[in-house]
């Protein structure tokens, strides 16, 4: 397998323009003859579908939910970055590029990240034109706020509902194309396999989640925008339906998987409160703009927060990182919270929480101003915890949130399977070992609105293949494999529920491949997951039949993939003998307990190639070259 990143030559700031000029175009008449499948209708998939249809392609869009509006993207709260420099506070495309490269601990491609920073400004214009109601200043200008890992304010937002508003914008554009007959929308469908003919992606097998029927769909190219895999950990801030199955099916068919161990743990989530909890809730990073994070100085101090005087509080982020304070990046803030709790200074019943306190901000700006900025987040917190954050500090703890790893893609967003493009959280692209807040929405929309429309055209213009037909033997083989697996799952009739297996997998991953890792634990986890996977295929209980709506069956397929993927994640973490960003291996740390990179040996993307059931995946490296920024020890002090 060749990993050719296809990064264009030339100066960094001119690469994308030059490349766009060099990409081949498809003439308007030919576009109408090309069929494109888009799997996923979140921000990445909906924006891609709408734009490709607007260009004239025939698009078929698939999603699990009953409407694209229910994609996980709707949950995004805090905002979307762009280098508009409306605040005149020193922002620029270069600064957004630099912050993002540094935030990712120098484990992403310079050219991709620079392009992302360039496109960020187009995204805001596009969304404003669609009517996305971004927050505005009194004078009518678009407002900005600060997010972690940056010293400028560049985050555009719509209260704590930015994802929802952006998705409504993309959905509006998508609906227009559906009405125009250019997009056929297939809701309640789950892609279960990728069909590859003569080495090229030519279609998918999808299960109709209502009727149970297996469907074959052929096309000239397939675009995967199926989201991230945080739910491998069972408890996460992701929507319950988020899964890895479409990406993993593609991996099994030859798409290489990059950096699977890069998982972002978000510092400000509502802590776990019970064994049978199924989901965790994020409290947006935007709250760290005004909120101060602290714990009691003494582990013995069990007084309620309002009785602990200022002098006996440890504002540990402000003290340790005076330059960035509460706005250090997520990996740093998460580990710092863990360190405080490990020292016994955690608060609440479980002692696995720290305070996020907005009292000073409420006193300074007034309750109304704070309510306007964060009102819905405060309401959500109160509904879940029965505590009023206007009166008492929130209690928060880190939780699994986002996955930087994903299917490997080149500069054109094409995977190692020709004709399979991967967008949004499903690809590994631009965030390196740690994503900065408000950068996922930016990347998903950059991919969907502004990159794929060019790069897919180049692929189609250069491809010469016959029109794929659903009666091709490759479709029958794929469909048969999917059917066999469904029958197998239904026939086991064991004693443990799917959720029970999932919960145990999540626990193994969280304890051994979570906020911190070390070789001994990772080796233990590898064995535990392999045993659990073997037990799953002997002892899982999946009720019902495959003939209709069966959520137990749906989940079983997804958990089977998570189990296999869990082993890959641990393998990847074991291979990377350094610490970088979210991948904090305790054996590699500075004297000040910060991540210690090994640029000489690990300045690369790790990409894994599937080699069949029971065989170890093959490891490949894509070296990362830095010509424009100097690799430094990341410091936020």
Ligand X SMILES: Cc1cc2nc3c(=O)[nH]c(=O)nc-3n(C[C@H](O)[C@H](O)[C@H](O)COP(=O)(O)OP(=O)(O)OC[C@H]3O[C@@H](n4cnc5c(N)ncnc54)[C@H](O)[C@@H]3O)c2cc1C
Binding site for ligand X (CB under 6 A): 39-45, 62-65, 71-73, 75-80, 162-163, 189-191, 225-227, 237-238, 242-243, 245-246, 282, 401-402, 424-426, 438-441, 444
Q: What are phi and psi of 248, to 5 degrees?
A: -70, -35
In 3D, which of 241, 225, 230, 246 has the Cα closest to residue 43?
225
We find the least distance from the C-beta atom of residue 8 to ligand X, in angstroms, to be 25
Which residue lies nearer to ligand X by CB, 269 or 522?
269
Element (H, E) at 540: strand 540-541
CB 138 to ligand X: min, Å? 24
Q: For residues 281-310, b (16+ Cβ closer than 10 Å) or e, as one string?
A: bbbbbbbbbbbbbbbbeeeeeeeebeebee
Contacts of 203 (CB under 8 A, 6+ apart): 37, 194, 195, 197, 216, 217, 218, 219, 222, 468, 470, 475
Q: How far is it, in rounded angstroms, from Cα 122 to Cα 134? A: 15
Residue 540 C-beta: closest distance to ligand X, Å: 19
Cross-strand partners of 204: 194, 217
Alpha carbon distance 338, 590 (integer Å): 17
Query: 65 vs 173, which CB is nearer to ligand X?
Result: 65
- Taking the complex as a whole, the smallest distance from the CB of residue 427 to ligand X amounts, in Å, to 9
**Measured from the CB atom, is 425 or 504 closer to ligand X?**
425
Ramachandran category for residue 107: left, alpha or beta (phi over 0 → left; psi -120 to 50 → alpha)? alpha
Q: Supply the DSSP symbol for 125.
A: H
End-to-end CA gap in the chain: 42
Min dist. Cβ of residue 208 to ligand X (A)? 11
Between 142 and 596, CB nearer to ligand X: 142
Minimal CA–CA distance to 206: which of 226, 182, 220? 226
Give the HSE-up count for residue 133: Cα atoms under 13 Å, Cβ half-sphere: 6
Report the 3 state secondary structure along 11-73: CHHHHHHHHHHHCCCCCHHHHCCCEEEEECCCHHHHHHHHHHHHHCCEEEEECCCCCHHHCHH
Residue that the structure tokens 């690990």 belong to? 602
Q: Cβ closer to ligand X: 249 or 542? A: 249
Return the active site residues. Answer: 330
* Cβ–Cβ under 8 Å, residues 603 and 630: no
- Asked if residue 55 lies in contact with residue 458, where contact means CB atoms within 8 angstroms, the answer is no
Which CB, 280 or 370, lies closer to ligand X? 280
Is the CB of 223 or the CB of 568 nearer to ligand X? Answer: 223
Query: How far apart are CB 439 and ligand X at their closest, in Å?
Result: 5
Instruction: Provide the minimum distance between the beta carbon of 64 and ligand X in the complex, in angstroms, as a whole number.
Output: 4
């Amino acid at each position: 397998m060749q990993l050719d990143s296809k990064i264009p030559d030339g100066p960094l700031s001119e690469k994308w323009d030059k490349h766009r000029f060099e990409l081949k175009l498809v003439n308007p008449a030919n576009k109408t003859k090309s069929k494109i499948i888009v799997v996923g209708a979140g921000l990445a998939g909906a924006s891609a579908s709408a734009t490709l249809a607007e260009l004239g392609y025939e698009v078929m869009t698939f999603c699990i939910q009953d409407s694209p509006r229910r994609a996980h993207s709707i949950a995004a709260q805090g905002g979307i970055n762009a280098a508009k420099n409306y605040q005149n506070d020193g922002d620029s495309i270069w600064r957004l590029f630099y912050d993002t490269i540094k935030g990712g601990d120098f484990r992403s491609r310079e050219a991709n990240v620079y392009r992302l920073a360039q496109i960020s400004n187009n995204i805001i214009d596009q969304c404003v034109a669609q009517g996305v109601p971004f927050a505005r200043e009194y004078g009518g200008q678009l407002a900005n706020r600060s997010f972690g890992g940056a010293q400028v304010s560049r985050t555009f937002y719509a209260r704590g509902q930015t994802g929802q508003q952006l998705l409504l914008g993309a959905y509006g554009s998508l609906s227009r194309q559906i009405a125009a007959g250019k997009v056929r929308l297939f809701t309640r469908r789950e892609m279960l396999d990728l069909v590859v003919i003569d080495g090229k992606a030519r279609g998918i097998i999808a299960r109709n989640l209502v009727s149970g029927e297996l469907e074959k769909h052929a096309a000239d190219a397939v675009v995967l925008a199926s989201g991230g895999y945080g739910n491998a950990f069972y408890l996460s801030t992701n929507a319950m339906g988020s899964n890895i199955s479409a990406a993993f099916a593609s991996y099994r068919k030859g798409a290489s998987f990059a950096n699977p161990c890069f998982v972002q743990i978000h510092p400000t989530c509502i802590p776990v409160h019970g064994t049978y909890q199924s989901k965790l809730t994020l409290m947006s990073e935007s709250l760290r703009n005004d909120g101060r994070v602290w714990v009691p100085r003494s582990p013995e101090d069990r007084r309620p927060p309002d009785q602990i005087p200022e002098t006996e509080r440890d504002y540990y982020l402000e003290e340790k990182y005076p330059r960035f304070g509460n706005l250090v990046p997520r990996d740093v803030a998460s580990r710092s919270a863990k360190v405080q709790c490990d020292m016994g200074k955690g608060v609440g019943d479980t002692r696995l929480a720290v305070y996020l306190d907005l009292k000073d901000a409420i006193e300074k700006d007034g309750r109304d101003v704070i309510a306007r900025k964060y009102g819905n987040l405060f309401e959500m917190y109160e509904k879940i915890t029965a505590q009023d954050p206007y009166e008492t500090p929130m209690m928060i703890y880190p939780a699994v949130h986002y996955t930087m790893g994903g299917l490997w893609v080149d500069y054109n967003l094409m995977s190692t399977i020709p004709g399979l493009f991967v967008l949004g959280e499903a690809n590994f692209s631009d965030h390196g070992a740690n994503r900065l807040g408000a950068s996922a929405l930016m990347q998903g929309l950059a991919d969907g609105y502004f990159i794929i429309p060019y790069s897919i055209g180049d692929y189609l213009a250069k491809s010469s293949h016959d029109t794929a037909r659903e009666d091709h033997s490759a479709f029958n083989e794929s469909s048969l494999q999917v059917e066999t697996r469904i029958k197998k799952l239904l026939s086991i009739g064991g004693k443990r529920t799917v959720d029970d297996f999932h919960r145990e997998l999540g626990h193994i991953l969280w304890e051994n491949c979570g906020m911190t890792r070390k070789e001994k634990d990772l080796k233990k986890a590898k064995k535990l997951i392999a045993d659990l996977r073997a037990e799953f295929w002997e002892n899982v209980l999946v009720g019902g039949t495959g003939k209709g709506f069966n959520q137990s069956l749906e989940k079983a397929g997804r958990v089977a993939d998570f189990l296999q993927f869990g082993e890959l994640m641990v393998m990847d973490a074991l291979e990377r003998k350094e610490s970088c960003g979210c991948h904090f291996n305790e054996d590699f740390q500075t004297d000040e307990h910060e991540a210690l990179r090994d640029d000489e040996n690990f300045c690369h993307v790790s990409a894994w190639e599937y080699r069949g059931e029971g065989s170890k995946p093959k490891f490949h490296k894509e070296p990362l070259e830095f010509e424009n920024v100097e690799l430094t020890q990341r410091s936020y002090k």
